[in-house]
Amino acid sequence: MRPPGRFLLAGLIGAVAALWTLTRPGDAALYPTPSDEAGVTVYLLDNGFHTDLAVPRAALMAGGGPLTEATASLAPGDWVLVGWGDAVFYVDQSPISGRLPDGARAFFRPGNASVVMLDPEAGDPARRFRAEDRHVLRLSSAGMAALRARVQASLAIDAAGRPVLTAARPGDDARFFASRETFWIGHLCNHWTADLLSAAGLDVRPFRAVTSGEVMRTAARAERLAAAKLDLKPERD
């Protein structure tokens, strides 16, 4: 007979493999956008290890609630970069070489406070990113509303139901609002972005969304799916 430990190890490896390949199916009622609907264009942006979504400001303003209030408080700009991360490490822009201990804390200590970033952009939000570091997605109006609702659900609110501003960097229009969620290796910035895409109706592989590359592949798969279903050429910017 094989030692029980081998069965346990085999079971553990099988469970990890199953989770790693697990796909959370999207909602076909939300994505892809029907061919007779204009849809809402958003950008998925990758800086090498972190992903943001660039969303039309008007789409974030629609619907009311704390997200509308937070967006209205921003500097002018037709687009808003939306991101999420640790309340300290994500906000700090000092050289990363001096922040490695704090990075380890953010990754490996569960329960870290987090923030939602809203950063207004006056021009094309993709202009600072190489073609391979950006993806265009055309969401349905219902998919955009669901994505917006997911962002709003992440915001912490005060007793009056208002968003809680926690940081505003000097010389930077980005604003950071307290989030209800916690940051650690099991729930990173790219997991959060994948959750937004999932809310919008896209298929995602949640356990693989540790890296920004996996989130970009999520968008690429969705683009191919939309093209196949709607018999359209993939949209390019």
Query: How many Å apart are CA 226 and CA 37, to the nearest integer?
Result: 13
Q: How many residues does the chain have?
A: 237
Query: How many Å apart are CA 237 and CA 233, to the nearest integer?
Result: 12
Cis peptide before 32 (omega within 30 of 0): yes
pLDDT of 204 above 80: yes
pLDDT for the residue 1 = 47
Query: How many Å apart are CA 32 and CA 137, to the nearest integer?
Result: 9
Which residue stretches of the chain are H helix? 4-21, 57-61, 66-72, 100-108, 141-154, 189-199, 212-230
Report the run of H or E that residue 83 belongs to, with start and end.
Answer: strand 79-86
pLDDT tier at 237 (50, 70, 90 boundaries)? Answer: very low
Which pLDDT tens digit goes with each residue over 110-134? 999 999 999 999 888 888 888 899 9
Chain position carrying tokens 């997911």:
150
Tokens of 201: 């109706």
Give domain limits for the chain: 23-230
pTM of the model: 0.88
Mean pLDDT within 2-14: 51
